[in-house]
Structure formats: C-alpha cells, structure tokens
C-alpha cells in the first residue's frame, strides 16, 4: 500500500528528447476532469511515451468519442490535430482519417460506455479491419459525465446509488478485442501504464483500467475489470458520501514505474496475473480494399 501511494519520480528523464523538445511541449490544455482521475494519469503516460519516443506531434492525430475519457485528447499533445466525434463512433472517424493519410500516427481514446456499450460495433470492426492505430479504452465500468449509470463492463451484482443493482454480466473488453483478432491487446491500470512502450508504432489496442472515484464511489466499486477498485476506494474514500453533487478531491494514485518491457509485462493491477494479455500473430496488412 505504501508503495502504491508513494510517488516515485523517474530518474531517467533527460531535459529534451531526440527532437530537442522538452516534455512540456507535449502537454495539452489543463484537464477539466475530477481531481485525481485516472484518466489524467493515462494522458500523462501518453505525454511521457510520445516525448520519450521523440514522436513528431504534428504527425499524430488524436481521436475520441463522447464521455470523460473522450475529453482527454484536449489534455495532451497540444500540437496534434484532434477530433472529438460522436458517442461510440470514434473508430470510423479514425479509419477514414488513416485511409486519407496513411503516414499519420493515430491515437484513439475512448471509455467503456463509448466503446463497449454504445460503440461495441465500431470497436469490433476497427479491430477486425486491423486499422493502424493505438486504441485506448479507459475503463471504469460507469458513466461518469452523466453521473453514475452502469456501463457494459460493470460487474454483475454491483450496486450504485441511483442505478441500483446491475443484473447483467459484464463484457470483457480485452476478450472482445481478442475475439476479433486484434493484433495487440494489453490491459493495465491507469496509473501503471508503462511509458516506454512502443505502443504508438504499431496498430494495437490498450485497455486501461481507470476507476472512477466520483460516479461509482457512493456505494460500491463499479468494475473489477478496472482493478481491485474496492481496495482503492477503501483507501481513498472511506466516508463514501451518498451525494452525487459533491465531488471530493483526491490525490492521484501513483505506483512504481517499471523500467523495461520485461517488468511491465509482468506488472499487474489486480495482483494476480499478467496485465498484458496477449499479442496475436496475425500479420498487419493494411491496404485499401479496392487496390
């Protein structure tokens, strides 16, 4: 626990990257999400990774749908073009954009409501088409912006203040991706996403657990897919306020950063097995259908 709450600053950061740029230049606008939101940690990890890899921001496009997670592209890579689409349909916009310009690096950010509830169809088809992009699902099992409804990844039997009991079994977003032959699927915890992944160089999807402290906090954690949230909640919201219009501030959870791929491959958010789920071996063959 101590380890999890203690911020450990990486000692390896040089002042500038291979393009001669400071990390600050990879930031976006200030976040408007709740204080301590895991989504901001993911944004920070995207900033870290793209900066460390020396990626030219002008050659990156950021795409998202609707929801808390989909707001985040504003908060990183301020020199990249961004497109905030409609709810659940980010994948089609991304597909069109990378067909139009195949030299661009595409990062899609979505949530569980956006990708698994309303958008499961486009989520599956973008994997099926093997569109060259990094697709991040910031999964917290709950609708944050509309304040506390279940998403399709919420655990069965879960209880929320207004939504009541969730009677339905969740969809596992990683399994959905694997079943559709995604070429790379990984699962991680928001605060634990490795910086140095080469995840922006290949088409792949990353499913990041990012528990919502605000909209799922009142009664019980919203999804185990995201982490052992109960643990986190006990740690962070001992009083479990029953009010939806009061949003307490939290410190961001930090855990140790792992220095290399080998360690991060073993990293776990739930304390059991590997969070990087599997890399499929399907070759990447992206080309226009008509060619």
Partner 1 sequence: MSVLVKEASPVPGEHELRVNDFNINVATANGSGSQTSNNILIRTLFKMGIPVTGKNLFPSNIQGLPTWYTVRLSKDGYLARREGIEVVVCMNAATVAEDMQNVMPGGIILYDDSLPVAARRKDVTYFPMPVKELVKEADLPFNLRDYVANMVYVGFLAYLLELDCDQVRAALEWNFEGRPKPIALNHDMVLSAYNWAAANVINNQPYRARAMTGFNEDKILVDGNTAAALGALYNGVNLVSWYPITPSSSVAEAVIKYGPQLRRDPDTGKATYAVVQAEDELAAIGMAIGAGWAGARAMTATSGPGISLMSEFVGLAYFTETPTVIWDIQRMGPSTGLPTRTSQGDILSVYYLSHGDTRHIVLFPASPAECFEFAGTAFDLAERLQTPVFVLSDLDLGMNYWISDKFEYPKKEMDRGKVLSVEDLDRWGAKWGRYLDVDNDGIPYRTLPGTPHKLAAYFARGTGHNEYSGYSERPEDWENNLARLTKKFDTARELVPPPIIEEVEGAEIGIISLGSNDAAVQEARDRLSAAGFAASYLRVRALPITQSIRDFLAKYDRIYVVENNFDGQLEKILVNAHPSAAPKMEKVTKCDGLPLSARWITDSILSHLA
Q: Which of 207, 217, 204, 209 is nearest to 191 (CA)?
A: 209
Rounded Cα distance between 43 and 41, Å, is: 5
Q: Is 203 in the site for partner 1 (CB under 8 A)?
A: no
Rounded Cα distance between 29 and 32, Å, is: 9
Q: Is 86 in the site for partner 1 (CB under 8 A)?
A: yes
Is the Cβ of residue 16 or residue 156 nearer to partner 1 in the bound state?
16
Is the Cβ of residue 58 or residue 156 nearer to partner 1 in the bound state?
58
Q: Is 285 in the site for partner 1 (CB under 8 A)?
A: no
Q: 82, 159, 252, 254: which one contacts partner 1 (CB under 8 A)?
A: 82
For residues 227 and 270, is the Cβ–Cβ distance under 8 A?
yes
Cα dihedral 73, 78, 191, 180 sign: positive
The distance of closest approach from Cβ of residue 57 to partner 1 in the complex, given in angstroms and rounded to an integer, is: 7
Q: 39, 41, 47, 85: which one contacts partner 1 (CB under 8 A)?
A: 85
Rounded Cα distance between 126 and 130, Å, is: 6
Q: 1, 9, 20, 103: which one contacts partner 1 (CB under 8 A)?
A: 103
* Helices marked H in the chain: 2-5, 38-52, 68-71, 90-100, 112, 120-128, 173-179, 229-236, 261-266
The distance of closest approach from Cβ of residue 48 to partner 1 in the complex, given in angstroms and rounded to an integer, is: 19
Is the Cβ of residue 77 or residue 185 nearer to partner 1 in the bound state?
77
Element containing residue 149 per DSSP (H, E): strand 149-150
Rounded Cα distance between 46 and 193, Å, is: 9
Per-residue contact track with partner 1, 116 to 155, x per CB under 8 A?
Answer: -----xx--x------------------------------
Interaction residues for partner 1, span 31-70 (CB under 8 A): 56-59, 61, 63
Q: Which residues bind partner 1 (CB under 8 A)?
A: 29, 56-59, 61, 63, 73-74, 78-86, 89, 91-101, 103-104, 121-122, 125, 288-291
């Amino acid at each position: 626990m101590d380890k999890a709450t203690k911020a450990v600053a990486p000692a390896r950061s040089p002042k500038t990257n291979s393009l001669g740029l400071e990390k600050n230049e990879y930031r976006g606008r200030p976040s408007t999400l709740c204080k301590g939101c895991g989504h901001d940690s993911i944004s920070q990890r995207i900033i870290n990774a793209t900066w460390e890899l020396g990626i030219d921001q002008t050659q990156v496009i950021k795409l998202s749908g609707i929801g808390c997670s989909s707001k985040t592209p504003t908060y990183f890579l301020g020199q990249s073009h961004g497109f905030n689409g409609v709810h659940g349909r980010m994948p089609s916009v991304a597909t069109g954009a990378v067909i139009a310009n195949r030299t661009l690096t595409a990062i899609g950010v979505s949530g569980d409501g956006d990708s698994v509830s309303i958008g499961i169809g486009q989520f599956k088809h973008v994997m099926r088409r093997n569109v060259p992009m990094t697709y991040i699902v910031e999964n917290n099992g709950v609708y944050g912006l509309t304040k506390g409804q279940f998403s399709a990844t919420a655990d069965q039997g879960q209880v929320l203040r207004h939504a009541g009991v969730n009677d339905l079994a969740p969809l596992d977003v990683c399994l959905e991706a694997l079943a559709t032959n995604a070429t790379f699927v990984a699962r991680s915890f928001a605060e634990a996403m490795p910086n140095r992944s080469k995840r922006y160089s290949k088409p792949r999807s990353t499913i990041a657990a990012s528990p919502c402290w605000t909209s799922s906090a009142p009664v019980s954690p919203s999804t185990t897919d995201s982490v052992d949230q109960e643990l986190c909640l006990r740690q962070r919201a001992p009083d479990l306020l029953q009010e939806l219009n009061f949003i307490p501030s939290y410190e961001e959870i930090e855990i140790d950063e792992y220095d290399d791929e080998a360690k991060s491959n073993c990293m776990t958010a739930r304390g059991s097995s590997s969070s990087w789920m599997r890399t499929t071996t399907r070759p990447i063959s992206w080309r226009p259908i008509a060619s």
